[in-house]
Structure 1
Amino acid sequence: MARWWAAVQHKPRPAPTPVPPTAPVTTPGVSEDRIHIVEKGDTWWGIAEEHGLSVPELLALNDAAVGDILDIGDRINVAPDPDPVPGAAVPDGQGGGGTLASLIAALLRAFRRT
C-alpha cells in the first residue's frame, strides 16, 4: 500500500492551459479618450482633477451622486457626449447626447459662458 501512495504523491501534474487574451471591452460610439477606467486608489475628486473637471460635473456625466462608490474596473465618463449637429433630428435611442448626464453637462457649459 505504501508504494501505491508514494506513486500517487509523485505523479507529475499537467502543465496549465494558457488562457488566450481577450479583446478590451469597448462601448460602441464612445471614444476611449472620454473614458477613465477606475484603478485602486481612484476617487471622484482625483479623477475630476486629473481631467480638468469639478466633482459635480464628473458626477453629472456619470449619473452619480455624492457618496456613490467607485469599483476597480468601472468605466467613468470624463468628457460629455459630443454635441449633435444643430437642427439635426436624432431618433429616440440613437444617441446624440440626449441622456440626462449630457443635458446637465450642456447646462453647466452654458452657465460657464455667462
Structure 2
Amino acid sequence: MSKRRKRTSPTSSLRERLLQFAAQAQAAATTMPAGTARSDLLKKASASATAAEIDRWLSPADGNSVQRPARPSTFSPIPRRADRQGLDRSSAEQGPLRDQAS
C-alpha cells in the first residue's frame, strides 16, 4: 500500500509568500560580501518581486477567483501546415503544383 501525501493549503497568498521571500533574500544579500553568491541571491529576490507584481496584475481586484472558460476540444495551438502557408485544405491535399506545359 502506498503512502498518501498530506495535502495542506498555504496560509498566505502566493503574492505574500513571494514578497516575503524577496525581502528575506534582500536582507540576506546585504550581509554577504560582494561576489557571485550575493549577485545570485539579489537576482532571485528581484525575480520573486517581479513574480509577485505579475501575480497582482493577473489577479482580480476584488480577490475572487476568475472562472475561465474551458477551451473547445478542437483547439489546436499549432496551425496546420496548410494554414501556415495560407492555402485552403483542399489545395494542400492535392500536393505541389506541377508545370502543365512540359
- The TM-score range, normalised by the shorter chain, is under 0.3
Question: Larger helix proportion, structure 1 or 2?
Answer: 2
TM-score (norm 2): 0.25
TM-score (norm 1): 0.23
